[in-house]
Amino acid sequence: MAVRLVRALALGAFVASLTPLGAGAQEYPTRVIRSICNFGPGSGADIVVRYYSEKLQRLAGKAVIVENKTGAAGNIATQMVATSKPDGYTIMITPGNATLASAPHLFKDVPFDPIKDFEPVARLAKVPFVVVVKPDSPAATMADLTAQLRAKGVKARYAASTNTAIVTAELYREMAGVQLEQIKYSGIADVLRGLLADEVDFTASDATWVAAMVQSGRVKPLAVTSATRLSAMPDVPTMQEAGFKGFDLTPWWGVVVPAGTPKPIVDKLAGWFQQINDDPETKAFLGKFATETWSGGPEDLRKLLASEIDAWGKYIALAKIEKQ
C-alpha cells in the first residue's frame, strides 16, 4: 500500500512538471476583471478609466467592471487594490501623481506603500496643468502676470482647489520671487467664480478643464506646466519658455496591480494597454480632453513612479502643504 502511494505521488509530481509554468497566464482571464477608480462617477478620472476599461474588455474577451471607490483623496481605492489578491483580476487605472507619488508626502498614515504594494503595468497618458487668468485680465503673458503681482505686493492672490494647483502656484512663486496668498476653494466651479469676481489674480488647473473654459471664452491661458507644449493648445507656451527654467510639472496616468501578480499576467495586461494606446481612436478621444497618450511598459512606469515620489516630496515641501 505504501509503495503504491509513493508511486502515485511520484506520478503526480511528474505530470505537474509537464504543465507549463505560464499556463495560468495563457488562460487569463477566465472571469470578470475589476477596474478600480479612485474618484466618483462622472468625474474626469472616471471618464478616462471607463474608456480604457471598455477597450480592455474587448481585447481580454471578458467583462471589465469599473468600481468607483471614493474618499481620502483616492487612498481608499488605492488601499483596496494594494490588499487585493494578486491574480490579475483587480487593476487600477489611475492619475498616478495624485494617488501614488504624492500620497507619502500628503498623509501621516498612508495605508499602502506605493512601491512595495504594487506591480507597475503600463504608463498611459499625461495632462499638464495650465496657468490661467480671467479673459479681460491685462496680463497676456507670464511676464505680464509677474509684473502685475509684484505691483500688488502682499495683496497678490491665487485660487486653488487641488494640491497640484497649490504646488504649481507655489513653484511659480518661488521662481518668480513674488508674494502670494493662497485662497482655497471647494471645487473648480468656485475657483472660476472667484477668478471672474476678482477675488484672485490667477489659478492653475488641469488642461482638461481649461480647454473647455478657453473654448467658451471664460478664461485666458498663459502657460502650461509641462516641458513641452500641449497639442490641444499649441499657441500656449510652456513655463520654461516663459522664463522659468526647469519648470516641469506633468500629471500622468498609469496602470498598477497588486504586488505579487505573476509577471506573465502583468506582461499580458501591458501588451493590451499598449494596443489601446496605439489605436488612433484613443489619441483622438484623449485629445478631446487635452490629454495625450504617453505609452510605456512596466519598467517605464516603475522608474517614473520612483522619480515622481522623490519629485513630489520636493514640490510639496516647497508648497508648504502640511500632512493630513
Q: What is the pLDDT along the chain (324 residues), one digit of tens a residue?
A: 444 544 444 444 444 444 444 555 679 999 999 999 998 887 778 889 999 999 999 999 999 999 999 888 789 999 999 999 999 999 999 999 888 999 899 888 899 999 999 999 999 999 889 999 999 999 999 999 999 999 999 999 999 887 788 889 999 999 999 999 999 888 788 899 999 999 999 999 888 888 888 989 999 999 999 999 988 899 999 999 999 999 989 889 999 999 999 999 999 999 999 999 999 999 999 988 888 899 999 999 999 999 999 999 998 888 788 888
| Crossing angle (nearest 10°) for helices 263-278 and 44-60 | 110
**Contact residues for 34 (Cβ-Cβ < 8 A; gap 6+):** 64, 65, 67, 84, 89, 90, 91
Q: How far apart are CA 270 and CA 123, in angstroms?
A: 9
- CA 194 – CA 185 distance, rounded (Å): 8
Three-state DSSP class for 36? strand
Which domains, and CATH codes, for the chain?
A: 27-126+251-319 (3.40.190.150), 129-224 (3.40.190.10)
For 173, how many CA atoms within 13 A lie in the half-sphere containing its CB?
A: 23
Q: Given this model, what pLDDT does residue 201 score?
A: 98
Left if phi > 0, otherwise alpha if psi is -120 to 50, otherwise beta: which for 239? alpha
User: Which pLDDT score, from 0 to 100, does residue 62 have?
Assistant: 97
Cis peptide leading into residue 104 (ω within 30°): no
CB 59 within 8 A of CB 272: yes
Give the pLDDT of residue 2: 46
